[in-house]
Structure 1
Amino acid sequence: QTALDYFNQSLPVFRQVGDIRGEATTLTSIGLVYSDLGDQQIALDYYNQSLPVFRQVGDIRGEAATLTSIGLVYSDLGDKQTALDYYNQSLPVFRQVGDIRGEAATLNNIGAVYSDLGDKQTALDYYNQSLPVFRQVGDIRVEATTLNNIGAVYSDLGDKQTALDYFNQSLPLFRQVGDKALEATTLNNLAWTKRSQGNLPEALTDMEAAIALIEDLRTKIDSEKLRQSYFAQNQNAYEFYIDLLMELHQQNPDQGYDKQAFNASERARARTLLEILAEANADIRSGIDPELGEKELNLQQRINATESRRMELLSGEHTPEQANALKQELDTLLRQLDELRAEIRRTSPRYAALTQPQPLTVQQVQQQVLDQDTLLLQYSLGEDRSFLWAVTPDSVEVYELPSRAEIEELGEQFYRLMQNPDYRGESRNITVSPNIPQINASATQLSQLLLSPVADKLAGKRLLVVADGVLNFIPFAALPTPEQGDELTPLLVNQEIINLPSSSTLAILRQQDAGRTIAPQTVALIADPVFELDDRRVTGQTAVKTSDLGRIVVNRSAETIIGRPIPALPGTRQEAEAILALVPGGGAMSAFDFDASRATVTNTDLTQYQMVHFATHGFVSSSNPELSGVVLSLVDEQGNGVDGFLRLHDIFNLQLNAQVVVLSACQTGLGDSIRGEGLVGLTRGFMYAGTPRLVVSLWSVDDNATAVLMSKFYGKLLSQGVTPAEALREAQLEMLASEDWKSPYFWAAFTLQGEWR
């Protein structure tokens, strides 16, 4: 992070004085930092900026170094052949200019590619060519890297003792030069090798030292995005650590290693979310330089404007060059926003005084999170085997599950089948899909895999699900109760189900909510926005009524935003009016039609409302989660286009006092799936803004069905005094019991994230 700060200071100076070679060198250096922090795509962007400049000024050594760096990116991304192509371009250039260090580094990298491709002997040949050169020029760091690489080859070849010898040579060298990241890598390699020899206690010692280094380095990164990418690239270390602890548990079942493994699992997930929620509680923006706040607002406006231009461009005729230019401009602005927010953190007096929140231990989870009616199901997926912890206030049990690949295959199949538009039932005048037996078989298979180990613990319990990987996409409510014979009863029938990104998240949400004054007003409703110029409301006609549509099916996904008209959602008006009818006089704010706008949301004091309800289209950007959001009115009363996209970075700036936020739109529970973080999307934005619980969706939901579900949900919530979790379950049960809406397609997409109390 400090390196990045200095490079970002020097870059505009080189540009100011016209030193394009210095500029290119700095661009490559910035790329190296991003590569080290795990953001390979941004690294590649910087290298691709510097490479033509080196060629322009005739700096063939700089060109060769950048070619090697690009090769490293492709190698890390898994494209070994492209990596080899770049190395083979740079190697003769290093030889041409007599740069023996650059030549040796490239030989080392070529060896790594051959090792990854399984040709261990060729890899060894390349490493043995580069090692004496690094010793000759006194480059201790890269000498240590090569020793480590040679050790890895011998380990793969089965010669574990020789591998240990090489690792033990490299470790003190990394410590000598202070490279903590590669020290952690070597400790990890030592742990793997010692475990394979059956020396589990020493392997555990090495692994705990490696994890401590990773965690220490992670806290030195101020950028939220880079902290996530760095953590993601180190998830294999946590996965191995958990697996090692579980092997020790199997050998010594009374030593508490299963609980340590749970603690490791909790340390490995949603850490950035935990930290930003702590920042929200500390109000770290208080007292920052107003100029930084102004810069942030300006950047957000430029991002929104640029993304709008990009979508407009893509909806018409355009060249690939035009689209790419706008994408690069947008990526640059998003990167600048991330860097600016890192600066805001660094310079905030309250952030400096903020203690980094620590994940809870299993004992703390039992004491602070759970109650006697709640069973925590926490999943951790691994390459060779996965684990499920079943935790109550009084007990901790752990079960071994199949590999990540097997669970992913079943999970992806089930998720795909659940959102199949054909799976809707005869009452919708749509032919019942012939895939229903396949859907039921998939659901049963997944349930047996994920839930059968704890079948005897489910009765009478609320289920708190902390998922991992593909399981974040699974509607557990629609899975059949395990081991029940031929009759498939959805888990929903007997269980209230809550989802969380981590157990520790709930504890900090409760801290955020503690002592908060209940908002005086009941609900703020934003529904039925105007999306298109040909909408009847623009031309002065009356709004479309749900009854006008008959059996036409419309969903609330904005996937069609680019290049196609955005359909109106008359069901959202029906939904909001049904909710309004339940609210005592004066207790609601409603914004329909043109008023269902971004301006209304950002200019209304939402802290006055106990509930905030968005009924509109949702959209998800998995490549840039910051651009995900909900679509509000895109047209004003005069027919002028307006910015109606409420994006994630806008949501972070909202101030809420809501007990629940309902995102009655498509895919609002999704986001970018980042290892170690889970789904990075709208949920964390609203939690940061001040709500402890959200109702969100996992796929593209049907407009009419969602209107019915939400009417039932608020009916329970407002008239029966139940919790949002109870209200959602009861509403879904009524849908399940009806002929029109019994298919899980209509009701199972919605889940409750956060606090159940």
Structure 2
Amino acid sequence: MSHDQVPTPEELDLLRREAGEARRTLDYERAITLNRRRADGWRKRGERAQEAATLVELSRDYQSNGQPLVAFVCLAEAEALVPDDATVRLALGDLYTQLRLREQAIAVYERAGALATSRLMAAYLSKGDRVRARTFLERERQRLQQAKNLRGEANLLAAWGEPATYAEAEALLVRALAATKDPVEQAQMLSLRATLLGLLKRPDEARQCFEEQLALCQRAGLVPERFMALGAYASFEYFQGAKPKVLALVQRYLSFAQQQQSPVDERGALQKRLDFASYDQDWAQVAAACSELISLCVAQGWRGTYDLPYFQDRHAEALQKLGKRSEASAACRAAIAVLEQRRRTYAGLSDAALAFRQGSRSPYERLLGLLPPQSPEAFGLVQRLKARALREQLTLGRGSQEAAPSPEETALRARCEQLNAALVQEGIANAVGGKKRFAELQSELRQAETALARFYDTLHARSPQTALCRAASEPTLAQVQAQLKPRQLLLDFVLPTLPEEKVRVLALQRQSVTLITLPTPLAELRGRVQQLREACSSPDRPWQDAARALADVLIAPLASQLRGMEQVVLCPDGALWEVPFLVLLDQPVVSYAFSAALWLQQRTLPALPPRPLSLLAVAAPNLAGFNRPIIAPERPIIAPERPIIAPERPIIAPERSVFLPPGMLSLSLPGTLQEAAALGQLFPEATVLLGKDAQESRVKADAVRCRRLHIATHAFVNDTAPALSCLVLSDPTDLSREDGFLTARELMGLDLSGLELVTLSACNTARGQLLTGEGVRGLSWALTAAGARNLVLSQWSVPDEATVVGMQAFYAALKRGLSKPAALRHASLEQRKLPGREHPYYWGAFILIGSGL
């Protein structure tokens, strides 16, 4: 077929079969080439549906080949050809599922109609939401019963995973087997029935089924089904405790694969051997199986699900268990080298890249555990595990962004913001039926956020200048140590993936590096963190015991490093971002950073150029007169309940996060006027926006022109959609295009690289979605990504009066020449001296994140 010739359907079908064979042998490069030719052929024939179907296949090949960006592009092209096609949406949902983006997958499946019902059931089961999953189970079962699809109904009930449904599924398979003469269908159903009989504790019948399946496969020459039977039979016998039979079956599996010259099935047999050895904790056999699998992967050049770095990490685990630490370390380094290459294929896919990093931490964490305490290599490993998305965003800079959003982006963002406002308002109204409407809005918001994320994914994939991630330069240990002063300590925390594992801390001083393992498992540590945070966030709760309990496991193991230190830079991870370290560390000046590498990156940025505005202060926004009920809900935003339970303490003075009866407007914040007045006295050159002048449009315009930004108002933290966490500004004017909610997404779209300091004098502004390795997704993440160098934020709801005192003391200390971290500590100490302010609720909420300069 020549390049310009219009192919026949028969020629295109031949290409389809050849692509399928290439895919079966995991030769995805060839499958991609063939399917590209198919898509081009259907395009020449003008058959849009066939072209779209081929693009869906092509997207799966690209994802299997480790190219998720191009997979998204293929699906975007397919959807443009056949809008609202359920098959394309199914493929997109499957892609999100493979990328470990479960919420995005659910949002897409919900738009795919009846075809996605079983997938939705599986997705909700994986979330542990069996109530919601049962809705889809019943819906799909009804559809299958109407279609008289016995086999489909049996598969569905088997997937549900309960003894009662196993029995129903097995009975349906008996009927389905009697109704079909197709040997392929018979073989597949016999395999499932045998597995179900094993689960129902009827082992003799299960063995009879497996033997019947193997005999059928041999008679009918069914090769794939025979492999399936051998694998399932071996698994069944393993859980029956019949080890000799297991070994014999696995050897039959492997021999048959070699006889058929099928590397894919050879891998399947070796994988079984690996799994069974792992269950038995036979680490010598695990190591041997991994060694064979690694050799096979290298020889075949595979990049599938069970790929090279996975087996290398399992190999490292086995070698570590066998006491071969040097060999285990080498295996970890080999896995990390492959993963570092692989992660570049996720450039531009922010959520997918984060999910990839979350799912591939094991070899990094394992190698950390194998290194000696003073190993300089630990520094580089920790930085690869911490804040890489933020570092890359700062390296990429605002120049990579579009000068103005496209109409499609504008519409998608507007939809998300409208739903966010409706979600908040429904929670406030607390009307009859509100809980159902709230859940519906949450679902709509997830779908809208998924659509926007997909828009950005496709945009990045299609634009080489944005798709190629300009990797942040890897800092050296010497560079970070050169920034540390004498008697200054940097503590970079690394949380493990598994809750039973332990936290590691990289302690850096000017002349030393030490890797420390905390003695307490992560699960217990999280519990103590939560107890202290809850105690600190209410002035009526005792806090000393909770502080001592956490200090015993978090601070005491670091005592030798902390001794004599005057300044400490803390780089928390995951749940440790909830720790009020100011409560635990009395003596040193404390500041926070997302990681040592990002701290260095921020400290070595070019000097700030002169700005038109030295300080922009925004306070006391006008919250009345607009149909916009505003109230800061508790975190996370929860579904409305009736009746509303009264807060634990009476609201005597306004807070910057308030809990009010249904339908009321938020309390005004008189303290914010005092803050603004104090700033005006300290800095006469400051620009102050009060009341109706505190417009979102004005704040956005002036924020990019000032050196310091101070915003005193209410704040919302949205855990459903962290990018929609926001600061509440004045009711918009009739001519404004803004809604008065300055969201994290909008902040991230501004160029804030000229900002030396941002102070959000509001509640919970340091909080958001906790991500192991990447920090807190919310306002702090957005401001850092936008280029702001230092942030002062709060870890809990702050009382208005205490905030005024603290902010006056902070800025007065700054004007006297104290560093930002020292000024914040001074403000905290001044607060503690006041009568009735001994509780950390008053003085411990605000933290400084950033360079400290």
TM-score between both structures, scaled by the size of structure 1: 0.80
Determine if the alignment matches structure 1 residue 455 to structure 2 residue 559: yes
Do the aligned residues in 2 keep the contact of 1:667 with 1:696 (CA within 8 Å)? yes
Aligned to 2:506: 389
Aligned to 2:676: 576
| Structure-to-structure mapping, 1:509-528, within 5 angstroms | 509-512=602-605, 514-528=606-620
Aligned to 1:179: 303
Aligned to 1:163: 286
Aligned partners of 1:104 and 1:273: how far apart in 2?
48
User: Which of 325, 330, 333 is residue 448 of structure 2 equivalent to?
Assistant: 333
Do the aligned residues in 2 keep the contact of 1:557 with 1:617 (CA within 8 Å)? yes
Aligned to 2:598: 505
Aligned to 1:85: 159
Residue 322 (structure 1) shift: 4.7
Do the aligned residues in 1 keep the contact of 2:704 with 2:750 (CA within 8 Å)? no
Do the aligned residues in 1 keep the contact of 2:533 with 2:578 (CA within 8 Å)? yes
Cα offsets for 1:63-88 (capped at 9, x unmatched): 6xx48xx6477458798999963476
Aligned partners of 1:7 and 1:183: how far apart in 2?
27
Do the aligned residues in 2 keep the contact of 1:558 with 1:618 (CA within 8 Å)? no
Aligned partners of 1:79 and 1:309: how far apart in 2?
28
Do the aligned residues in 2 keep the contact of 1:40 with 1:73 (CA within 8 Å)? no
Q: Which runs of 5+ in 1 are unaligned?
A: 56-62, 251-255, 424-435, 480-490, 539-549
Aligned to 1:478: 583
Cα offsets for 1:106-134 (capped at 9, x unmatched): 9789x99x99xx96959997996996899
User: Which of 712, 715, 718 is residue 812 of structure 2 equivalent to?
Assistant: 715
Q: Which runs of 5+ in 2 are unaligned?
A: 1-67, 135-155, 196-227, 631-649
Aligned partners of 2:730 and 2:762: how far apart in 1?
14
Distance 1:710 1:52, change over 3 A: same
Aligned to 2:691: 593
Tell me the SS of whatever aligns to 2:711.
strand
Aligned to 1:399: 516
Do the aligned residues in 2 keep the contact of 1:141 with 1:174 (CA within 8 Å)? no
Tell me the SS of whatever aligns to 2:83.
helix
Aligned partners of 1:235 and 1:559: how far apart in 2?
40
| Structure-to-structure mapping, 1:43-192, within 5 angstroms | 43-50=105-112, 52-53=114-115, 66=119, 71=122, 74-75=125-126, 85-86=159-160, 98=184, 141=264, 144=267, 147-148=270-271, 150-175=273-298, 176=300, 178-179=302-303, 181=305, 182-192=307-317
Q: What amino acid does structure 2 have at the position aligned with 1:580?
A: G
Distance 1:324 1:753, change over 3 A: same
Cα offsets for 1:666-696 (capped at 9, x unmatched): 1111111112212112112112323210000
Residue 454 (structure 1) shift: 3.6
User: Which of 378, 386, 392 is residue 492 of structure 2 equivalent to?
Assistant: 378
Distance 1:455 1:592, change over 3 A: same
Do the aligned residues in 2 keep the contact of 1:609 with 1:658 (CA within 8 Å)? yes
Tell me the SS of whatever aligns to 2:486.
coil
Do the aligned residues in 2 keep the contact of 1:612 with 1:662 (CA within 8 Å)? yes
Residue 447 (structure 1) shift: 1.9
Q: What amino acid does structure 1 have at the position aligned with 2:697?
A: A
Distance 1:352 1:672, change over 3 A: closer
Tell me the SS of whatever aligns to 1:581.
helix
Aligned partners of 1:244 and 1:534: how far apart in 2?
60
Determine if the alignment matches structure 1 residue 235 to structure 2 residue 361: yes
Distance 1:156 1:742, change over 3 A: same
User: Which of 61, 73, 83 is residue 5 of structure 1 equivalent to?
Assistant: 73
Tell me the SS of whatever aligns to 2:82.
helix
Aligned to 1:444: 548
Q: What amino acid does structure 2 have at the position aligned with 1:498?
A: S
Do the aligned residues in 2 keep the contact of 1:669 with 1:683 (CA within 8 Å)? yes
Do the aligned residues in 2 keep the contact of 1:144 with 1:171 (CA within 8 Å)? no
Residue 599 (structure 1) shift: 2.3
Residue 551 (structure 1) shift: 8.5
Do the aligned residues in 2 keep the contact of 1:141 with 1:173 (CA within 8 Å)? no
| Structure-to-structure mapping, 1:252-401, within 5 angstroms | 258-280=375-397, 283-285=399-401, 288=402, 293-314=406-427, 315=429, 316-318=431-433, 322-346=437-461, 351=466, 355-367=470-482, 369-382=483-496, 383-401=500-518
User: Which of 330, 334, 338 is residue 205 of structure 1 equivalent to?
Assistant: 330
Do the aligned residues in 2 keep the contact of 1:105 with 1:130 (CA within 8 Å)? no
Aligned partners of 2:262 and 2:728: how far apart in 1?
55
Do the aligned residues in 2 keep the contact of 1:145 with 1:170 (CA within 8 Å)? no
Determine if the alignment matches structure 1 residue 38 to structure 2 residue 100: yes
Do the aligned residues in 1 keep the contact of 2:446 with 2:720 (CA within 8 Å)? no
Residue 263 (structure 1) shift: 2.2
Residue 522 (structure 1) shift: 2.4
Q: What amino acid does structure 1 have at the position aligned with 2:703?
A: L
TM-score between both structures, scaled by the size of structure 2: 0.71
Aligned partners of 1:730 and 1:73: how far apart in 2?
49
Aligned to 1:753: 849
Do the aligned residues in 2 keep the contact of 1:303 with 1:330 (CA within 8 Å)? yes
Cα offsets for 1:240-293 (capped at 9, x unmatched): 221122xxx27xxxxx5x32233212211111111111122x6212xx586x64
Aligned to 1:554: 654
Aligned partners of 2:528 and 2:108: how far apart in 1?
39
Tell me the SS of whatever aligns to 2:516.
strand
Aligned partners of 2:712 and 2:478: how far apart in 1?
40
Aligned partners of 2:423 and 2:607: how far apart in 1?
44
Distance 1:455 1:311, change over 3 A: closer
Q: What amino acid does structure 2 have at the position aligned with 1:27?
A: R
Aligned to 1:724: 820
RMSD: 4.0
Tell me the SS of whatever aligns to 1:555.
coil
Aligned to 2:766: 669
Cα offsets for 1:629-662 (capped at 9, x unmatched): 2111246599x99722111111012233221000
Aligned partners of 2:83 and 2:852: how far apart in 1?
54
Aligned partners of 2:409 and 2:252: how far apart in 1?
47
Distance 1:154 1:551, change over 3 A: closer
Cα offsets for 1:716-748 (capped at 9, x unmatched): 223x13222221111111111221323211111
Distance 1:739 1:466, change over 3 A: same
Do the aligned residues in 2 keep the contact of 1:460 with 1:495 (CA within 8 Å)? yes
Aligned partners of 1:270 and 1:400: how far apart in 2?
20
Residue 453 (structure 1) shift: 3.5
Distance 1:516 1:343, change over 3 A: farther
Aligned partners of 1:651 and 1:517: how far apart in 2?
21
Do the aligned residues in 2 keep the contact of 1:529 with 1:616 (CA within 8 Å)? yes
Q: What amino acid does structure 2 have at the position aligned with 1:11?
A: E
Aligned partners of 1:72 and 1:135: how far apart in 2?
36
Tell me the SS of whatever aligns to 1:552.
coil
Aligned partners of 1:122 and 1:279: how far apart in 2?
57
Determine if the alignment matches structure 1 residue 700 to structure 2 residue 797: yes
Do the aligned residues in 2 keep the contact of 1:658 with 1:691 (CA within 8 Å)? yes
Aligned partners of 2:273 and 2:169: how far apart in 1?
22
Determine if the alignment matches structure 1 residue 565 to structure 2 residue 665: yes
User: Which of 554, 561, 570 is residue 465 of structure 1 equivalent to?
Assistant: 570
Tell me the SS of whatever aligns to 1:340.
helix
Cα offsets for 1:457-508 (capped at 9, x unmatched): 43242101111222111111111xxxxxxxxxxx24x211011111111222
Q: What amino acid does structure 1 have at the position aligned with 2:619?
A: A
Structure number with bigger Rg:
2
Tell me the SS of whatever aligns to 2:837.
coil
Determine if the alignment matches structure 1 residue 418 to structure 2 residue 536: yes
